[in-house]
Structure 1
Amino acid sequence: MATKNKEIESYASLLKSCGESRDLAEGKSVVVCIARSKYRRNVYLANLTIEMYGKCGCLERAQHVFDALVAPNSHSWNILLTAYAQNGHIHEAMLLFERMAVRDAVSWTVMLKTLAQHGRIELAMLLFQKIPHKDQVAWNVLLSALCDSSNPLQAVDFFDKMPKKDSVSWNTMITLYARAGEINQAIDMFKGTPFRDTVSWNIVIESLAHHGMIAQAFEMFQKMPNPNVITWTILVTAYAQLGNMQQAHSLFEKMPCPNVVTWTVMVLGYSRVGNLSKARAMFDQMPQRNVIVWNILVTAYANRGHIREAEILFQKIPEKNVVSWTAMIAAHARNGAGMDAIRMFKLMDLEGLQPDKATFLTVLDQSIVYSDLGLGKLVHSTFANLGLEQDAGIGNALVEMYGKWGSVEEARCAFESTVTPDTATWNSLIGACAQSGHATEARELYRLMTLEGIPPNGLTFMAVLSTFSRVGLLDQARDQFVSIHSDFDQIPLLEHYQCMIDLLGRSGWLNFAAQLVDSMPFEADFVTCMALLFACRVHVDVTRGRDVAERAFQLDPENPMPYVVLSSIYSEYGAKRAVRSFRERCSGPRRHSKRPLVAR
């Protein structure tokens, strides 16, 4: 009998381990072994098999094992119910719950938690009313759900009506006030609880620290009877986030037994203030390290430009994760070593690690820098297979990438793959069309964007104005420029003025262009003056050209371009003597007064 129990417990231990590690392949192997053994009909092992499949997200197999049971017990029903609930299959969980002949406290609690965690507060309240014997757990589950909902007053009312309150109930309410920033109410609730435990103290201390009341948090800490490692870590973290590493280190040194989280906070704190030697010293002293602290130190070295040191550390990481690889890829990219970033990305792929959004965006940016369309398409196909193509951030990067390469059709496909394109996504596609000379399509996209209710911003207006400017549509550009304020209540940016000045000048409306320069709410900069000066050259306007060139010289005395353009204007006008005179004047003392650019 002892041997039999030992064998069953051995199988049970393996199933539990596979479930906890989410190792479906190994779990299936264990199930095969059980099926070939004399314990294939053991209900206890069957229940653990259902649980293992549930934790691995394999609900079809979990249901199959359950259906094969001749007489499933209450544990069988609750385990399958939990499997559906934990995997977010609310409808299936509710159907199973309705089929249950006997529902115990676990059944009701699982269903109540499921509805509450998925925001089905009204259904949760209805279910709560049906519970025949409401235990303290059920009351606390619904209270927690109401605190997390958008109606905290309902939670307060529910708390007041509770027939019995335990430490969980009180701590839930303290947390409610603390999260809302109602510190005084949180402290009042803390003072009023008959169950003032370590959790209560930690909630209040963390709330005070989070809201910048570090002195009050430290005062509470000193009054606390038995602070635990979480309490100490809260204070150390608070001081480290403020950059006060001296106080953080002082507390750290006094800690009875700092854990890996506290050590990591110290390494991160010193890294953020730029003290890499202290960060490395703390790292080297750590009794045990996780991948998070390795990544922090790699990133710290990379951010300070110490790429070689970062790479040496990176190679020593025992188990690199996607954050480790992305940190090194981003480090190379930031320091101008784009090819090394691309090399790291390819190595990451060979290692079999699945990149995340940050990895993709970094590599896409480098493919644009190096005009590597092949790499860009490779990256695109990789995350399309992973289902990340619909993300707005990635969609923006793809549209921008294809747009810069003039691949408008592919940019449009990337745009259409984005589930909820935002302003940036629309801007990228409008800009891509504008840069590729698809003026009509750019204008139509802008019209659709406003019809969709997507608010345009300065970049949108710039893309549309540039489109009109490229094809010389002055009237449409003028209407668009005016609408920035009249229709969208936004103030045109300097770049918008420059675009209009350039278009007015090239269209022969030099006087209006000059008036626009003088009426701007900004001081005309060098770029603005040059836009008008180039227009003067096109129309050989010597008088205005001289005034604009002098203003440009005042703004950037070291730049020869105004002199070159003005010389060209004089040359075309045939005024060679004027060229020599202007040269002499430019070499003498310069005046810095602003003169109107409108011809008198």
Structure 2
Amino acid sequence: MTRQALPFLENLNTPILHCLYSAIASLSQTRQAHAYIQKTGLLADTHLSTRLISRYANHHSFVEADLVLRSISDPSISSFSTLIYALNKSNLFTQSLNVFSRMLSHGVLLDTHVLPNVVKACGKLSALKFGREIHCIVCKYGFDSDSVVQASLVHLYLKSDRIRDARNVFERLPEGDVVTYGALLSAYARKGCVNEVKEIFSGMQSYGLEPNVVSWNGMITGFNQSGNYVEAVVMFQEMHSKGFQPDHITISSVLSAVGDMERFNIGIQVLCYVIKLGLLHCKFVISALIDMFGKCACAGDLMKAFEETNEELMDVGARNALLTALSRNDLVDVAMEVFERFRVRGRELNVVSWTSMIAGCSQNGKDIEALELFREMQSAGVKPNSVTIPCLLPACGNIAALVHGKAAHGFALRTGITADVHVGSALVDMYAKCGRIHLSRLCFDRIPNKNSVCWNAIMGGYAMHGKANEAIDIFHLMQQKGHKPDFISFSCVLSACSQGGLTEQGWRFFNSMYEDYGIEAKMEHYSCMVNLLGRSGKLEEAYTMIKQMPFEPHACVWGALLSSCRLHNNIRLGEIAARNLFELEPNNPGNYILLSNIYASKAMWDEVDAVRDVMRSRGMKKNPGCSWIEIKNQVHILLAGDKSNPQMTEIIEKLHKLSLEMKKIGYLPNTNLVLQDVNEQDKEQILCGHSEKLAVALGLLNTPPGSPLQIIKNLRICDDCHAVIKFISGFEGREIYVLCYSFSSCWCLKKRYYSSIADYYKPVLICADLSLPCSSSDAQRKGIKTSELLLKRASP
């Protein structure tokens, strides 16, 4: 509109009003024009007031624009539409819907310009209910024949994940467009609906509409996101065959699909195509290639590609992909070197980079390095987020670094992320691994919106601590709350049944997996059942189950049977289990030791010597029992039978006094646990020299009365030590935690067994003001240490 279209303005002050039609007019000039219009009573003019609203909106002065709209006695559709459009453009969608609601209250007639903008605002806010009301208005006033309005409704329903509603509206479109077709194709692809994609794609072409690159990308990316990797690659091939040239988004999506398929040969073909297209210098493509190499476990090719790539072409996303890929391929040491190289050269690293390295260290047994990285991350000014803390907490749990775990918890409290379900689940797991199951349950109860990970974490915690009934109660509570158990849930509850010797209930859960939930039993479920049956003395039944397994049993299954044979001294089945384990794990000394102990329990000393000879011939040694305890900021290591500690005389004297007190109430040393051909007195001396007893005595001598003791042991605690330490806990009035680590190659991680020595746990207050140390000197001053160093020193 021009000023010539408004004859009545000829006598007005033209320079003042001219700013309303100038693209470079300032906010101050607009306000002057507003004052003049209001003073002269021309605000009622629709054209002039609408122009004023537009100028204020252009300057993002929406409060003033809204004041102009409110001051109009009889606003028109154009006045409302102008403000709604401007608010949408500035992502102020809530305000946009509020203006629309006022518009309806004024009884202003709608048009096909304002409705798509309002529907768009509903989609951005996921305001499906409001959107449905607008859909009703559209149908009531006959706007359902307008393609633009209908297309906006299709996009609204797709964004609200109401694909069926979107399809219904789509079918009524007078005429479709490439964008709407592409959006619907992408939505169906994300759902993995292959047939529907083919149907709509065919219909699109029959209407003479050719898909563009965006449409192809939507389908390829959608299939990739839904796990239909083969379909994603097939769609890429079809795109190529029809003469469409892919862009960096296409290549990134198809490389991701190839990586998830672990089809390196296809990845190489895509790489050649990338070179041909000249996209090898694209940062997005470089990230996707690195990710593909990592997923295909081609570490050598990955490093070669990295060394040949100009680092200047790698953005922070590519660096993150490289670090993640190296860690995923058990090359965490290389990842740390590359990470340090990036830091030294001043390359950009973000919270994802640091979190990726912390996760890589935690998942690859480098727990102390994970804690150190977290400290350095904070020193570098990078703020951890709700993903960083769940990656850090497993490292704390792995080495029972309770102080560090509480510090991380304190950080989460200060930053307000404890309500995050992933943070809460990680806290539940960490406290359980540190022997504080009561704190684990406290954290679990405080998670507002629990998912299956939370439920599985607390179930697994109770199973670790041998609290079978509590784990089963959680399983039933999970079902009552409407959460469907998954295969991990059944692993946890079966493990709990195994710990508690609940054979009948274990069978019920095992059978319920498939009958009630359609979950096929996996290796870990069979391992739990064999362990449950074996520990209950039903060794033949356990062996029958192994023979009837639908797949070849792994070492964890035979290991469960061998351990049970050791418990019940069954030589025949023990030999069968051992033979299979020797084939699956020829260099695992633990299997030989178990068989040797079975022979020793029957005084078959010739067989014991034969097994030990085999071990010696293969260069294998028995892992010595080792315990460590932290006292006054110093970690003390004690080996079974070791007398090198300077306080050993006091330790032996303390244990002797405690033994006398125990014998007064009927304690007898369980010498049957000493599988050596020596007399009873020597057996008692051997039992007295177990490392965990030495560590407890050292703690009693050097810590204040009533303070808790925490001991970490590299092997499982024996029954005699369990009984003795439980007595000491009551007699001395101490909480004593013994965390025992048993290494098993079948899981490729540490299986933990916990002895809850104290008769009860007192509540421990979680301090919110703890923070991780900022330097090694601070660590010494605050008394914060971790036992990972001991794991390295104590390992044979």
TM-score between the two structures when normalised by the length of structure 1: 0.69
Residue 452 of structure 2 aligns to which amino acid in structure 1? T
Who is 1:127 aligned against?
Answer: 137
1:373 maps to 2:390: no
Residue 150 of structure 1, CA deviation:
1.9
Who is 2:104 aligned against?
Answer: 98
1:446 maps to 2:446: no
Who is 1:141 aligned against?
Answer: 152
Residue 545 of structure 1, CA deviation:
2.0
Residue 429 of structure 1, CA deviation:
0.7
- Flag the 1:361–1:130 CA change in 2: closer, same or farther, 3 A: same
1:411 maps to 2:440: yes
Of the candidates 157, 170, 184, which is equivalent to residue 176 of structure 1?
184
Q: Secondary structure at 1:389's aligned position in 2? A: coil
Q: 1:167-206 residue pairs with structure 2 within 5 A? A: 169-177=177-185, 180=188, 181=194, 182-183=197-198, 185-186=200-201, 189-190=204-205, 192-193=207-208, 200=212, 202-204=214-216
Of the candidates 111, 122, 130, which is equivalent to residue 115 of structure 1?
122
- Flag the 1:357–1:465 CA change in 2: closer, same or farther, 3 A: same
* Conservation of the 8 A alpha-carbon contact between 1:236 and 1:252: no
* Conservation of the 8 A alpha-carbon contact between 1:294 and 1:317: no
1:292 maps to 2:314: no
Residue 426 of structure 1, CA deviation:
1.4
* Conservation of the 8 A alpha-carbon contact between 2:119 and 2:153: yes
Who is 1:548 aligned against?
Answer: 574
Distance 1:526 1:89 in 2: 62
* Conservation of the 8 A alpha-carbon contact between 1:465 and 1:477: yes
Residue 150 of structure 1 aligns to which amino acid in structure 2? I
* Conservation of the 8 A alpha-carbon contact between 2:596 and 2:612: no
- Flag the 1:48–1:298 CA change in 2: closer, same or farther, 3 A: farther
1:560 maps to 2:592: yes
Of the candidates 164, 168, 171, which is equivalent to residue 154 of structure 1?
168
CA deviation profile, 1:390-426 (whole Å, cap 9, x unmatched)? 4433332221112111222332233233344233321
CA deviation profile, 1:523-553 (whole Å, cap 9, x unmatched)? 67666566556556655x6xx4245335524
Residue 172 of structure 1, CA deviation:
1.7
Distance 2:493 2:514 in 1: 15
Residue 219 of structure 1 aligns to which amino acid in structure 2? S
Distance 2:536 2:456 in 1: 26
- Flag the 1:473–1:311 CA change in 2: closer, same or farther, 3 A: same
**Long gaps (5+) in structure 1:** 13-33, 55-61, 572-577, 589-600
- Flag the 1:235–1:395 CA change in 2: closer, same or farther, 3 A: closer
CA deviation profile, 1:198-241 (whole Å, cap 9, x unmatched)? x736525774794524443223336xxxx7xxx54356546755
Who is 1:343 aligned against?
Answer: 372
Please say which of residues 482-491 and 388-397 is displaced more in the overlay.
Answer: 482-491
* Conservation of the 8 A alpha-carbon contact between 2:182 and 2:218: no
* Conservation of the 8 A alpha-carbon contact between 2:597 and 2:608: no
1:467 maps to 2:496: yes
Residue 448 of structure 1, CA deviation:
1.5
Distance 2:254 2:476 in 1: 51
Who is 2:427 aligned against?
Answer: 398
- Flag the 1:389–1:517 CA change in 2: closer, same or farther, 3 A: same
Who is 1:218 aligned against?
Answer: 240
- Flag the 1:426–1:98 CA change in 2: closer, same or farther, 3 A: same
Residue 136 of structure 1, CA deviation:
5.8
Higher helix share: 1
**Long gaps (5+) in structure 2:** 1-14, 37-48, 189-193, 221-230, 257-265, 294-300, 615-796
Residue 503 of structure 1, CA deviation:
5.0
Distance 1:100 1:320 in 2: 54
Distance 1:585 1:436 in 2: 33
CA deviation profile, 1:468-510 (whole Å, cap 9, x unmatched)? 4444445544554555556555555555555555555555555
User: RMSD between aligned alpha carbons?
Assistant: 4.8
* Conservation of the 8 A alpha-carbon contact between 2:534 and 2:542: yes
Distance 2:315 2:612 in 1: 66
Distance 1:296 1:524 in 2: 35
Residue 171 of structure 2 aligns to which amino acid in structure 1? D
- Flag the 1:186–1:38 CA change in 2: closer, same or farther, 3 A: same
Distance 1:496 1:207 in 2: 38
Higher strand share: 2
Residue 154 of structure 1, CA deviation:
1.8
Q: Secondary structure at 1:560's aligned position in 2? A: helix
- Flag the 1:587–1:38 CA change in 2: closer, same or farther, 3 A: same
Distance 2:305 2:474 in 1: 54
- Flag the 1:240–1:521 CA change in 2: closer, same or farther, 3 A: closer
- Flag the 1:190–1:71 CA change in 2: closer, same or farther, 3 A: same
Q: Secondary structure at 2:278's aligned position in 1? A: helix
Residue 250 of structure 1, CA deviation:
0.9
Who is 2:777 aligned against?
Answer: none
Q: 1:189-588 residue pairs with structure 2 within 5 A? A: 189-190=204-205, 192-193=207-208, 200=212, 202-204=214-216, 207=219, 210-221=232-243, 231-233=246-248, 236-237=251-252, 240=255, 242-243=266-267, 244-252=270-278, 262-266=282-286, 268-269=288-289, 272-273=292-293, 274-279=301-306, 283-284=310-311, 286=313, 291-296=316-321, 299=324, 305-314=334-343, 316=345, 320-333=349-362, 337-350=366-379, 353-384=382-413, 386=415, 388-477=417-506, 479-481=508-510, 483-484=512-513, 488=517, 490=519, 495-496=524-525, 498-499=527-528, 501-502=530-531, 504=533, 506-507=535-536, 544-546=570-572, 548-549=574-575, 551-553=577-579, 555-556=581-582, 559-571=591-603, 579-580=605-606
Residue 447 of structure 1 aligns to which amino acid in structure 2? H
Distance 1:101 1:177 in 2: 38
Please say which of residues 562-571 and 482-491 is displaced more in the overlay.
Answer: 482-491
- Flag the 1:448–1:144 CA change in 2: closer, same or farther, 3 A: closer
- Flag the 1:428–1:185 CA change in 2: closer, same or farther, 3 A: closer
Distance 1:501 1:297 in 2: 41
- Flag the 1:205–1:382 CA change in 2: closer, same or farther, 3 A: closer
TM-score between the two structures when normalised by the length of structure 2: 0.54
Residue 207 of structure 2 aligns to which amino acid in structure 1? G
Residue 565 of structure 1, CA deviation:
1.9
Please say which of residues 354-363 and 555-564 is displaced more in the overlay.
Answer: 555-564
Who is 1:23 aligned against?
Answer: none
* Conservation of the 8 A alpha-carbon contact between 1:124 and 1:142: no
* Conservation of the 8 A alpha-carbon contact between 2:578 and 2:595: no
Q: Secondary structure at 1:433's aligned position in 2? A: helix
Distance 2:561 2:325 in 1: 47
Who is 2:71 aligned against?
Answer: 71
Who is 2:3 aligned against?
Answer: none
Who is 2:742 aligned against?
Answer: none
